[in-house]
Amino acid sequence: MIEIFCCCTSSYGQEVNYDENKIPSFTLSDPLALNDGNPVKSVKDWEKKRRPEIMEFFETQVYGKAPEAPKDLRFKVVSEDKQALGGKAVRKEVNIYFSENDDTYMTVLMYLPNQNKKPVPLFVGLNFYGNYTINADPGITITPNWVSNESGTTDNRAKDSLRGSDASGWPVELILQNGYGLATIYCGDIAPDYDNGFQKGVFPLFYTNGQNKPRADEWQNIAAWAWGLSRAMDYFQKDKQVDAKKVAVIGHSRLGKAALWAGATDKRFAMVVSNESGCGGAALSKRRIGETVKLINTQFPYWFCNNFKQYDNNEDALPFDQHELIALMAPRPVYIGSAEGDQWADPKGEFLSGLYAGPVYKLFGLTGMPASEMPPVDHPLLSGQIGYHIRTGKHALTSYDWEQYILFANKFFYHSKDSINCLTSSFI
Ligand code: GTR
């Protein structure tokens, strides 16, 4: 959650454009035209022919291929408190071990509303700085892993005084009161967010003989984070307190890119939420406004697969664009959240991706984005299968964002006609 000051015109030696009038003209690919030019006429054509073409591109040219779930994946509930948060929640922590070795695991922190006797729908998302930062709850285990010093540390080690330091992005009570569980995982449990030559995190577990870094079409951090979200889903399917058919995957910024890729690669996620995911997430790359492919690959060379670098300052060569990533979610609901003060992430490009994914939803008989123009700030579009808002304020995940995501999820997970206007919270 790095704050970007949008007045800058240069970053990493690259000019940054913020002027709509300076966007070069470009052509977007048609999600409903096959690579050979033939039209996609049915849901079957989409599922069997077009979707695989789009997947193949994103998998080998953008995010990189990830391995299957390890055969020896193991789950262990390592803590449980049925009276957490003053009695409002069940809190549990589940370690997911990626190999026989007990050293390589991620910890899923879960809060479930404790008045619910039935399995509950759930939001799951990665966090930036450790599970213990999402709530001041003293029962949350402090991560033993490397953490970024942006979190307030000086030695890359988590510390007790930072409990709850990121709580504004995780309104746990709001989520619980509306009948949802929350699960979150520290992204650094899967792959630490710095360039370490892919020697840390999950990568070395999957190297073949003699391999010491991912191949050009293989996963780097974004795909590894998405892979971790799928491993959490493997667990949810076994947890009787969770309605695994109603799990929404959510992420902010870089972790929003990961949430989108998780939604694309794993159809078990029933809903996908991108909060200000920007370049390499919901924003169209060809607009080249705010952060560009070259800028992101320069600053974060370990996020996307190496093949993606061939599009640095070469967006016209992209045979697909991010609207087709959004289309990969169809027919599942997807919500794209933007912020006015986050021009680096190109809010308009995020909106347009959703809009241009619409024809695929139409093929399923659904309305994608329910408007063809961007709505004014703080006027969420909630009525379609693709939700969208741009809110006032800067780059962050806020309670306002969560309120829209909950209202949107209510339509699909609680099927209440009125649910769209009904948020249960003492905070509102
Ligand atoms: C920025 C990066 C963005 C976004 C952001 C974040 O530095 O350029 O793509 O991911 O970080 O994750 O907060």
For ligand 1, whether the C-beta of 1 sits within 6 Å is: yes
Residue 198 has, within 13 A of its CA and on its CB side, a CA count of: 24
Q: What gap in Å lies between CA 341 and CA 215, rounded to an integer?
A: 37
Ligand 1 pocket member 296 (CB < 6 A): yes
- Beta strand spans in 114-194 (E): 120-127, 181-186
Give the atom of ligand 1 at the shortest distance from the alpha carbon of 278. 9
**Nearest residue CA, atom 1 of ligand 1?**
2
pLDDT score at 5: 41
- Give me the chain's average pLDDT, please: 95
The catalytically annotated residue of 252, 323, 389, 395 is 395
SS3 category, 340: strand
Asked if 123 contacts 251 with a C-beta cutoff of 8 angstroms, the reply is no
Neighbouring residues of 250: CB distance < 8 A, sequence distance ≥ 6:
123, 124, 125, 256, 259, 272, 273, 275, 405
What distance in angstroms lies between residue 165's CA and the mean position of ligand 1's atoms? 19
CB 127 within 8 A of CB 134: yes
Residue 324 backbone phi and psi in degrees, to 5: -80, -25
Give residue 277's identity as a one-letter amino acid code: S
Q: For a substitution probing ligand 1, which of 166, 303, 344, 398 has the most ligand atoms within 8 Å of its CB?
A: 344
Q: Which two tokens stand for residue 191?
A: 């792959």
253 is catalytic: yes
Ligand 1 centroid to Cα of residue 148, in Å, is 14
Is residue 328 within 8 Å of 263, Cβ to Cβ? Answer: yes
| One pLDDT digit (tens) per residue for the chain, 428 residues | 444 444 456 677 788 999 999 999 999 999 999 999 999 999 999 999 999 999 999 999 999 999 999 998 999 999 999 999 999 999 999 999 999 988 999 999 999 998 878 999 999 999 999 999 999 999 999 999 999 999 999 999 999 999 999 999 999 999 999 999 999 999 999 999 999 999 999 999 999 999 999 999 999 999 999 999 999 999 999 999 999 999 999 999 999 999 999 999 999 999 999 999 999 999 999 999 999 999 999 999 999 999 999 999 999 999 999 999 999 999 999 999 999 999 999 999 999 999 999 999 999 999 999 999 999 999 999 999 999 999 999 999 999 999 999 999 999 999 764 555 567 654 43
State the pLDDT at residue 85.
Answer: 97
Nearest CA residue ID for atom 7, ligand 1: 2
Both tokens assigned to 103: 């050293």
CA-nearest residue, atom 12 of ligand 1: 254
The ligand 1 atom at the shortest distance from the C-alpha of residue 280 is 9
125 vs 113: CA distance, rounded Å: 17
350 within ligand 1 shell (Cβ under 6 A): no
Q: Is the CB of 291 under 6 A from ligand 1?
A: yes
Inter-axis angle of helices 221-236 and 254-265, to 10 degrees? Answer: 60
89, containing H or E segment:
strand 89-97
**pLDDT value, residue 426:** 47
- Nearest Cα residue to atom 11 of ligand 1: 2
- Catalytic status, residue 395: yes
Residue 355's Cα: distance from chain center in Å? 19
Catalytic residue among 148, 151, 252, 253: 253
253 Cα–ligand 1 center, Å: 6
| CB of 106 sitting under 6 A from ligand 1 | no
pLDDT at 3: 41
The number of beta carbons lying within 10 Å of the beta carbon of residue 68 is 8
Q: What whole-number distance in Å separates Cα of residue 332 and Cα of residue 262?
A: 13
pLDDT at position 115: 80
Using most ligand atoms within 8 A of CB, pick from 1, 4, 126, 255 the residue to mutate for ligand 1: 4
Distance in angstroms (rounded) separating the CA atoms of residues 313 and 319:
14
pLDDT 10s digits, 135-186: 999 999 999 999 999 999 999 999 999 999 999 999 999 999 999 999 999 9
Task: Let me know how long the chain is.
Answer: 428
Tens digit of each residue's pLDDT (9 = 90 or more) over 14-71: 889 999 999 999 999 999 999 999 999 999 999 999 999 999 999 999 999 999 999 9
Nearest to 387 by CA among 332, 340, 334: 334
Probe ligand 1: pick from 254, 279, 298, max atoms within 8 Å of CB?
A: 254
Region label for 353, one of left (φ > 0), alpha (ψ between -120 and 50) or beta (otherwise): alpha
